[in-house]
Amino acid sequence: MKTKIYLAPMSGVTDLPFRLISRKFGATHCFFEMLDSNALLHDHPQNRRLMKTLKKDSPISAQLVGADPSIMLDAAQKLTSLLDISFLDINSACPVKKVTKKGAGAALLKDPKKLGDMLKKLSSKLKIPLTVKLRTGFNKTNISECIKTSKICEANGAAIVFIHGRTASQGYSGDVDYKSIRAVKEALKIPVFGSGNIFSHLLAKKMLDETGCDGIIVARGAQGNPWIFKSIENYLKNGRIPKSVSLSMKIKTLKQHIVYIEKYKEMGHANKIGFMGQVAMWYLKGFYNASKIRERIHNTRSYEELITLINDVEGIAGATDISFSKIQKI
User: What's CA 209's distance to the chain center, in Å?
Assistant: 22
- 153 is annotated as an active-site residue: no
Mean pLDDT, residues 127-134 taken together: 98
Residues 193, 149: one domain?
Answer: yes
19 among annotated binding-site residues: no
Residue 244: which of 328, 323, 319 has the closest Cα? 319
288 — pLDDT class (breaks 50, 70, 90): low
Above pLDDT 70, what percent of the chain?
94
183 among annotated binding-site residues: no
114 — pLDDT class (breaks 50, 70, 90): very high
Mean pLDDT, residues 254-282 taken together: 94
CA distances from 4 to 47, 239, 297 (A): 28, 17, 36
Residues 225, 188: one domain?
Answer: yes
> What single letter denotes the amino acid at residue 272?
K
Instruction: Look at residue 329 and tell me whether its pLDDT is greater than 60.
Output: no
Residues 233, 252: one domain?
Answer: no
Per the structure, how many domains does the chain have? 2
Q: Final residue of a domain: which of 238, 257, 284?
A: 238
Beta-bridged to residue 123, according to DSSP, are none
Amino acid 213: pLDDT: 97
pLDDT tens-digit readout, 158-200 = 999 999 999 999 999 999 999 999 999 999 999 999 999 999 9
Residues 224, 157: one domain?
Answer: yes
Instruction: Look at residue 287 and tell me whether its pLDDT is greater than 60.
Output: yes
Which range marks the domain in which residue 300 is found?
247-326
Residues 177, 148: one domain?
Answer: yes
24 among annotated binding-site residues: no
Residues 233, 278: one domain?
Answer: no
Amino acid 315: pLDDT: 56
Report the 3 state secondary structure along 87-121: CEEEECCCCCHHHHCCCCHHHHHHCHHHHHHHHHH
Instruction: Look at residue 326 and tell me whether its pLDDT is greater than 50.
Output: no
Amino acid 314: pLDDT: 59
164 among annotated binding-site residues: yes
Residue 163: which of 194, 198, 137 has the closest Cα? 194
State the Cα–Cα distance between residues 204 and 228, nearest whole angstrom: 10
Residues 204, 301: one domain?
Answer: no
Average pLDDT over all residues of the chain: 92
Of the listed 94, 146, 153, 213, which one is catalytic? 94
Instruction: Look at residue 40 and tell me whether its pLDDT is greater than 60.
Output: yes
Q: What is the pTM of this model?
A: 0.92
Residue by residue, DSSP assigns 191-202 as -EEEES---SHH
Mean pLDDT, residues 287-293 taken together: 75
Instruction: Look at residue 122 and tell me whether its pLDDT is greater than 50.
Output: yes
Ranges 17-21, 229-233, 261-265, 326-330: which has the least confidence: 326-330
Residues 44, 177: one domain?
Answer: yes
155 among annotated binding-site residues: no
User: What's CA 28's distance to the chain center, in Å?
Assistant: 13
Amino acid 316: pLDDT: 55
